Amino acid sequence: MKGAGGLPLAAWLATFRLLRRYHRYEVVNLEPLLRPGAKLIVGYHGRPLALDLCMLTVTLYEHLGYLPHGVAHGAFDRIPGMRAVADGLGFVTGDDPRLAEAVARGEHVLLQPGGTREGCRSFRHRYRVDWGERMGYLRLAVRYRLPIVPVGGSGMDDAYLGLNDGYALGRRVGMPARLPLWLGVGATGVWPASLPFPVKMTQWVGEPLTRHLEPGFDAGDRNAMLAVHHEVAGAVQALLDTARLGGPGPA
């Protein structure tokens, strides 16, 4: 896997640097992601495009010299031109063999298990982890021996006012590439032709979770996998709750 570069990277950095200023973005406890070694960053998917995590990738690029390798929506493989964008950003759309190359270089991987189901909900469902039993990220972490770093925060679900369950509506009407059909309102109109509301966003980074890397852990044991899955989801939810309450940083 080649590193990110070219026009996609330049556009990504410019866009999310501007949004960092717009949202007065800051990170609490970045240190776990600056330590040597590849890690799987597992985060909450805010409204509707996980802007906070996009801004986190830029902050990490400035510290580490590379863009973390995002595991993106499968639509990147199906919509003309999007594959080139994903390649230019160093993103993949699943357990791509190229991930092994990135991990061998000690580079982080970024994933949001909730995906568009979590990110494209209505205003009635905010700041609540909704992963169900999606454990693909955990199988990835076991396969590549990656510590899991949970990430949550505040502000991301206030950037747009969601009016419907976009994931469910997209499936109901048969949207291509399983894309959501989400209706949202921002500061200047209707999404996607609208700026987000200028809310402050604060990213909280937790300490690495390594229970799945302990000797004897069996990835084929569903109960063992579910126990770790619940631990990770609980850690992300705790960060979301603490960030919104303005409590002390991660222990």
pLDDT at 246: 76
Rounded Cα distance between 244 and 46, Å, is 14
What local confidence, expressed as pLDDT, does residue 80 receive? Answer: 65
Domain 6-155+197-245, second-level architecture: 3-Layer(aba) Sandwich (3.40)
Give domain limits for the chain. Answer: 6-155+197-245
Give residue-wise pLDDT tens across range 52-68.
999 999 999 999 999 99
Bridge partners, residue 189, by sequence: 186
Burial of 60 per CB tally in 10 Å (0-12, 13-18, 19+): buried
pLDDT computed for residue 78 by the predictor: 63
> What residue ranges of the chain have pLDDT lower than 50?
1
Quick one: pLDDT at residue 127?
Answer: 97
The whole-model pTM stands at 0.92
Q: Judging by DSSP bridges, how do beta strands 161-162 and 184-186 pair with one another?
A: antiparallel
What is the predicted pLDDT for the residue at 192?
A: 94
Q: What angle do CA 94, 139, 53 make, to 5 degrees?
A: 55
> Residue 79: what pLDDT?
66
Q: What is the pLDDT of residue 1?
A: 46
Q: Please, what's the b/e burial string for 205-215 (b: 16 or more CB within 10 A of its CB; e: otherwise)?
A: bbebbeebeee
pLDDT at 251: 54
